[in-house]
Structures are given as structure tokens and as C-alpha cells.
Structure 1
Amino acid sequence: MSLFSGLSRPLKAAGLALIGVAVIAAVIGGVSALSGGDSTNTAASSPAPPPSTPGDAVPPTSPPASPPGSPSSPPASPTPPASTPPGSGAPTSGQPGQPGQPGQPKPGQPGGEQQASNKWVTVRVYNNSMIQGLAERAAEDFRKAGWTVTAVSGYPSGVIPESTAYFRPGTDEEAAAKQLATEFGMRAEARFPGIQNSSAGVIVIVTNNYHSPGKS
């Protein structure tokens, strides 16, 4: 006999509806139970990541900076100073005792005030060569340079090695003779015994090596 026998048709329909609802509810509950169990099992089976410990730092992704004192490119080589070794430089302009340097009077030309003041000392010129008129030519050169020539003659009392201006040491003749010698490319020396007692003034004895200023 059926469960719905004896019931009217409306009741049978209501009972079938209730049974259907119950079946659907049961199916939904079973599916939910199965889904919840899988999620719980999955969560339980997946191990948790280990806790971070001090010192487990993440390695840097960018390259480390260059250490101090290590530039990225080598420094340029320093330029050596343009220093001049001692003793190899050019002589200082106007240095005394170096004829021909800038600042020095050229042969036959008067110098500064100090040099001009020496030219009051008189000069006597003597020829000790075989060149006729050499003493006169030298005397004319001296006069053009501002010197006072008081005598021109020959010197036959010996052989003088080269043209020289002679002076008495410790007198004004010394500075004058040295200046005259510098201007005309001669030597300057103290008087030798043969002319030691001659009159005051610079004594110039010219020889074959004398050349007028500007002439070779």
C-alpha cells in the first residue's frame, strides 16, 4: 500500500512537495559537509612557513656600492711641474759680469748713472800691435762712448798677450777700467811693474785682438 493511499489529491501533492524539499536540503547539507572537510584537511596538510629569524635578511637586488677610495675610473696622471733644475736656467737679465745679457750696456754705449759717473776718469791708449793706427781707432771708439782720452801712443816695451785696461787697485781707476773693459770686450787688470808709476788714469794697451764695436 502506498504512503499516500487514502489521502486526497491535494494532500498527496503537498506531501510530495515536502519530501522533495527534504531531499534537496539533505543533498545540500551533504555537499557542504564534504566541502568543509576538504578545506579543513587542505589547511591542516599545508605546512606553515617557518618564522623569520634575525639575520635572515633578503639579499640585495642591486650591486653593492664601490668601496671607499676605489673610484670607478682611474684618476688622470698628474702633469709634472715645469720646474727648471737648479743651475740650468738662463742667466738673470742684467747680471753683473756677463756682457751681452739684457740690461748690460753694449760695447761703445754708455750705461746708467753709476757707469756714467766713472767716465770722468781719464784714459790713455797705447798700441802694442803691428796694426798701424790701432791706438787711434780705439781712442776714437772710446770717445764716442763718452770716455775722455788724453793720450794716444805706442807701447814697444814688451808684448801684451791681449788688449787690457790697467788700473791702480783701490782707486777710481779700478771701477772705470772694469767698465771700459766690459763695454769693449777687453780684460781689466791691476797695473804691472812696468807702468806702475805712470800718471793717474786708466791705461789701455790694445793688441791684435781689439775690434771696434759692431765689427768682427
Structure 2
Amino acid sequence: MTSPESASPSRPAKAAGFALLGVAAVALIIGVVSLFGGGGDTPPVAEGSSTAPPAPTTASETQSTPSSAPPAATTTTAPPASTPASSAVVPPPPVTPPGAAKVPVRVYNNSTVSGLAAKASDEVRANGWTVAETGNYASGTIPTTTVYFRPGTDEEASAKELASVLRARVEPRFDGIQSAAAGVILIVTNDYQGVAKNK
């Protein structure tokens, strides 16, 4: 009687052992297929880009292609709607892109130099901008020659380009000129340098 009781516990243990060996064999087969086949990782790469099949020779190229593809698709879709002509070039550079229209400029003298606004206007025109108005600014003292713009408008890029040409500071409009007519405002002071002479 002792031998049948001792034999019964060994049968479930043997069955469990065979089951574990079967699971291990299946896992081994799956591992070998995925190692040599590589079919599991290829579809996501091919889905993002058609150039994925030639890239698997280098591991770093394969990893960078899928990670860079999804963010470009999500992020780049929104900005091009506002500027269709130069969507990829406009966001990074601060200056006006080539071929973009230059906003009209109003030039005001805030210096002790007579005729400085007229001189600055000539240089602004010579560099491709239209001067809409020339005059004096007497509502306060501006510390240095500055080009002002309304943020979020096409004035911003044009103002930054003009400021780089004239070697001047560029800033958003302040309260005293916030309601002035549309366009870039250049207020020249005693430190006005104008266009660099090395051109």
C-alpha cells in the first residue's frame, strides 16, 4: 500500500515537468525565429518610412529613423498652416526669409542730431524697405537706437532683419507706441550707427 501512495505524487510532478519543458521549447523556438527572422521589429520601421528596409545594416540608423519620424509628423503639421510658403525655414531663423515682403517703416528722431531721421530713412530705403513716415519722437527718451514691432505679426521678422542691418536693438512695442499705425517703428538716438560700411 505504501508504493501506490508514493507513486501518485510523482505523476503530477512529472506532468508539471513535461509542461515546463514544453513551454521552454516553445519559448526557444520563438526566440530563434525572432533572432534570425527579425520580422517582429521590421513592420514598425517600414510603417514610418519607405527607406527603412536598406537601413537595417546599421543599428543606430534603424533606431533613429523610427524615433524621428513620429514627432515630425505630429509637430510639423500645425505650423505650416500659418505660413505655407516657407514653413520649414521660418521658425528657426529670426530674420526675414528670402523673398518675404518687408513691412513699411516709420522713422523717428529721438536725438540731438538734426536730420538724423532723414539720414536713417535714406539707409532704410537703400536696403529695400519702404519708409511710410519720418518725424521726431518727443514723448520720452529712448536709451538707444531701437527697432520696434508688434509681436505675433509679420512685423517681427522684418524688424529683426532691419535691426541687424542697422546694428540696432530690436524689441516689441512699448505702451507709448502700442497704438501707432501698423508697421515697423525705428527710433534713432545719438548712438545711431547705420549700415556697416564694409559692404
Relative to the length of structure 2, the TM-score reads 0.50
Greater Rg, structure 1 or structure 2? 1
Structure with greater proportional helix content: 2
